[in-house]
């Protein structure tokens, strides 16, 4: 499993956890909460990315050009 660095800083009463290299962040009232929140968010994003890849494979097997699909904004 790939390791991703996370930076922590305080914004008001919250701690922000930020994984700059993958542009993911989250927050909590304590560092521990911020750490748990970013781990949960990264897990969710990883699952979604995995599902999207499966979907793209299925689309490509149907020979539908991928360029016809717009990216999510």
Per-residue pLDDT of the chain (73 residues; tens, 9 = 90+): 567 789 999 999 999 999 888 888 999 999 999 999 999 998 888 888 888 776 655 544 444 444 433 344 3
Does residue 45 lie in a domain region? yes
Does residue 2 lie in a domain region? no
Domain containing residue 22: 7-61
Distance CA 25, CA 43 (A): 12
pLDDT at 1: 56
Q: Which token pair is 3? A: 């390791």
Does residue 1 lie in a domain region? no
Distance CA 72, CA 3 (A): 26
> Rounded to the nearest 5 degrees, what angle is found at the Cα of 30, between the Cα atoms of 27 and 32?
85
The whole-model pTM stands at 0.66
Does residue 26 lie in a domain region? yes
| In the chain, alpha helices (H) | 31-61
Does residue 73 lie in a domain region? no
Question: What are the residues whose beta carbons fall under 8 Å from the beta carbon of 36, sequence distance 6 or more?
Answer: 28
Does residue 21 lie in a domain region? yes
Q: Which token pair is 40? A: 């949960």
Could you give the number of structural domains in the chain?
Answer: 1
């Amino acid at each position: 499993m790939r390791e991703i660095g996370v930076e922590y800083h305080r914004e008001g009463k919250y701690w922000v956890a930020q994984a700059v290299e993958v542009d993911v962040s989250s927050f909590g009232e304590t560092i521990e909460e911020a750490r748990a929140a970013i781990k949960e968010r990264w897990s969710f994003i990883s699952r979604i990315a995995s599902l999207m890849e499966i979907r793209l494979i299925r689309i490509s097997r149907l020979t539908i050009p991928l360029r016809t699909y717009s990216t999510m904004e």
